[in-house]
Amino acid sequence: MQNPRPLTRFLLSLAACQPLVLAAGTTSSGEADALAGPGGFDIVSRINAARVEFMGSFGMEFDNSPAEVDDYAFQVASFLSRPVDLFAGYSLVPMFQYEANFLRPDGVPPGIPLEDEDLHEIELSLFVYKMESGSPWITGAWINPSISTDFQSVSGDDFFLDLAVAGGYRVTDTLILGAGVGALNLTGDTAVYPGIGFFWQPSEDLFLTLFGPNFRAGWDASDRWRLGFEVRPNGGIWNIDTTAGSRNIDFSSFRIGLSSSHRLTENLWLSYGGGMTAGNALNITSTDGSDLFKNTLDDLDEGFYGFISLGLKSW
């Protein structure tokens, strides 16, 4: 097995804490009491029950060639139900997500099979968690089957399966710490890595979260306006068909920037923001993870991004 590329490591550490993050955001009223205390957590209002987002990343030039690439992404995600009781205090929450990425390279040297690519990913995530009133512990698992493809043709190489388990502990009335382990691409070039996370609300209007490489800080300027700072991964792995056979496009990036969110109705929020992209890389790999054009593609210079989204806090 080849050494996993940066995106794989980033997504694994992110996946490792997904059960903790989503469990906190999908509680029933009784389970929410388990997270409430003097001063209280306000986790639920920070996570969307449904979201639509458009983002563009621009000005990313390859270090090893005169080529550059822009990326446009459209994403729709939603929980499909409220928590469903399972057994031994565990609950299940399904989530659907669709993302379209439109990679637009320019100046790619001849012989490299990278053109304008319309790439699609469909995920059906299952979150299983346990969080009981009176207990400081949260435990859970994340199962994520997906298809990532250009839809020119679909084969077994287009299907991916990810898995993670995590646990969290409420240290104080305003702090939860968590850790987990996740495995990405169990159907192909599998890699396993740990991740850490926390929720911290030092005051009623300030909130900080970290899960894997995803960090967010928010300040409630009012009950209708929220300012934020984010560091979060972007990109994906998609299978495409080329004249040389089945290949994967592996694109990874970090977005670092500011955001502003505004309450439009009781549960609907409009968010927008932007900043810079860093840690950018794009390559075409074999299905076992081998970099095929590392000397020409691979690392990208910093660029910039902007996004706009609508988030629904509850149905």
Q: What is the DSSP string of 134-161?
A: T--EEEEEEEEEEEEE-SSS--GGGEEE
Coil/strand/helix, residue 11 = helix
pLDDT the model gives residue 180 = 84
Q: How far apart are CA 141 and CA 165, in angstroms?
A: 4
pLDDT band, very low/low/confident/very high, at 315 (cuts 50, 70, 90) = low
Inform me whether the pLDDT recorded for 260 exceeds 50: yes
pLDDT in tens, 68-89: 999 999 999 998 888 888 988 8
pLDDT band, very low/low/confident/very high, at 99 (cuts 50, 70, 90) = very high
pLDDT band, very low/low/confident/very high, at 19 (cuts 50, 70, 90) = low
pLDDT band, very low/low/confident/very high, at 308 (cuts 50, 70, 90) = very high
Inform me whether the pLDDT recorded for 101 exceeds 80: yes
Alpha-carbon torsion (100, 308, 312, 140), positive or negative: positive
Per-residue H/E/C for 276-313:
EEEEEEEEEECCCCCECCCCCCEEECCEEEEEEEEEEC
User: What one-letter code names the amino acid at 80?
Assistant: L
pLDDT in tens, 171-225: 888 888 888 888 877 777 777 878 888 889 999 899 998 877 789 999 999 999 9
pLDDT band, very low/low/confident/very high, at 51 (cuts 50, 70, 90) = very high
Inform me whether the pLDDT recorded for 124 exceeds 50: yes
pLDDT the model gives residue 298 = 77
**Average pLDDT over the chain, rounded to an integer:** 81
User: What one-letter code names the amino acid at 191?
Assistant: A
Burial of 182 by CB count in 10 Å (0-12 exposed, 13-18 middle, 19+ buried)?
buried
pLDDT the model gives residue 29 = 44
pLDDT the model gives residue 1 = 31
pLDDT band, very low/low/confident/very high, at 47 (cuts 50, 70, 90) = confident
Inform me whether the pLDDT recorded for 31 exceeds 50: no
pLDDT in tens, 217-239: 999 999 999 999 999 888 888 88
Share of the chain above pLDDT 90, in %: 31
- Predicted TM-score (pTM) of the model is 0.82
Q: What is the DSSP letter of 42?
A: -
Report which of residues 155 and 149 the model is more confident about.
Answer: 149
Burial of 226 by CB count in 10 Å (0-12 exposed, 13-18 middle, 19+ buried)?
buried
Share of the chain above pLDDT 70, in %: 85
Report which of residues 27 and 253 the model is more confident about.
Answer: 253
pLDDT band, very low/low/confident/very high, at 130 (cuts 50, 70, 90) = confident
pLDDT the model gives residue 141 = 87
